[in-house]
Amino acid sequence: MNFDKFFSGYELEAWKLLGAHKKDGGVEFAVWAPHASAVELMTSRDWEKTIPLSKIDERGIWYVFVENMECIYSYRYRIHNGKKVYEKSDPYAYYFERRPSNASCMYDLDYFSFSDDIYMSKRKVDYDAPMNIYEVHLNGFKKEGEFATYRELKETLIPYVKKNGFTHIELLPVFEHPFDGSWGYQASGFFAATSRYGTPYDLMDLINECHNNDIGVILDAVYVHFVTDEWSLKKFDGSYCYERNANKSEWDTYYFDFSKPEVISFVMSSANFFLKRYHADGLRFDAVSHFVYKDGNSDKGNNVDGINFLKRMNFHLKKENPDIYLIAEDSTAFEGVTKPVEYGGLGFDYKWDLGWMNDTLKYYEMDPVYRSYHHHQITFSMAYFYSERFLLPFSHDEVVHSKRTIIDKMWGSYEDKFKQVRNLYVYMFTHPGKKLNFMGNEIAMFREFDEKEEMDWFMLKYPAHDSFARLFRDLSLTYKAHPCLYKGDYNGNYYRWIDADNTSQSIYSYYRYDNDECLVTILNMTPCEYRNYRIGVPFAGIYEEMINSEKDIYGGVNMCNYKPIKSVRRKAHGLDQSIRITIAPFAAIVFRVDLKKYATHNINDVKTLEAHI
- H or E element at residue 176: strand 175-176
Residue 466 known to be catalytic: no
Bridge partners for 507 per DSSP: 524
- Residue 85 identity (one-letter amino acid): V
H runs (alpha helix) in 60-175: 117-122, 150-163
Bond preceding residue 52 cis, omega within 30 of 0:
no
Kindly state the DSSP code that residue 572 receives in the 8-state scheme.
B
65, 132, 200, 209, 214 from 159: Cα distances, Å: 45, 15, 22, 11, 11
- Residue 364 identity (one-letter amino acid): Y
Cα R_g (the chain), whole angstroms: 27
Residue 28 · residue 21 · CB < 8 Å:
yes
User: DSSP letters of 422-438?
Assistant: HHHHHHHHHSSSEEEEE
Residue 329 known to be catalytic: yes
Catalytic residue selected from 202, 281, 329, 359: 329
- H or E element at residue 512: strand 507-513
* Strands 542-548 vs 588-594: parallel, antiparallel or unpaired: antiparallel
Nearest to 31 by CA among 83, 86, 102, 79: 79
Kindly state the DSSP code that residue 73 receives in the 8-state scheme.
-
SS (H, E, C) 539-578: CCCEEEEEEECCCHHHCCCCCCCCCCEECECCCECCECEE
CB proximity list for 56: less than 8 A, separation 6 or greater: 1, 30, 62, 63
Kindly state the DSSP code that residue 100 receives in the 8-state scheme.
T
Dihedral sign computed on CA atoms, order 217, 271, 64, 3: positive
Bridge partners for 85 per DSSP: 80
- Residue 350 identity (one-letter amino acid): Y
- Report d(CA 61, CA 35) in Å as an integer: 10
Kindly state the DSSP code that residue 94 receives in the 8-state scheme.
S
SS (H, E, C) 334-381: CCCCCCCHHHCCCCCCEEECHHHHHHHHHHHHCCHHHHHHHCHHHHCH
Catalytic residue selected from 205, 286, 305, 514: 286
383 Cα distance to chain centroid: 24
Annotated active-site positions, please? 286, 329
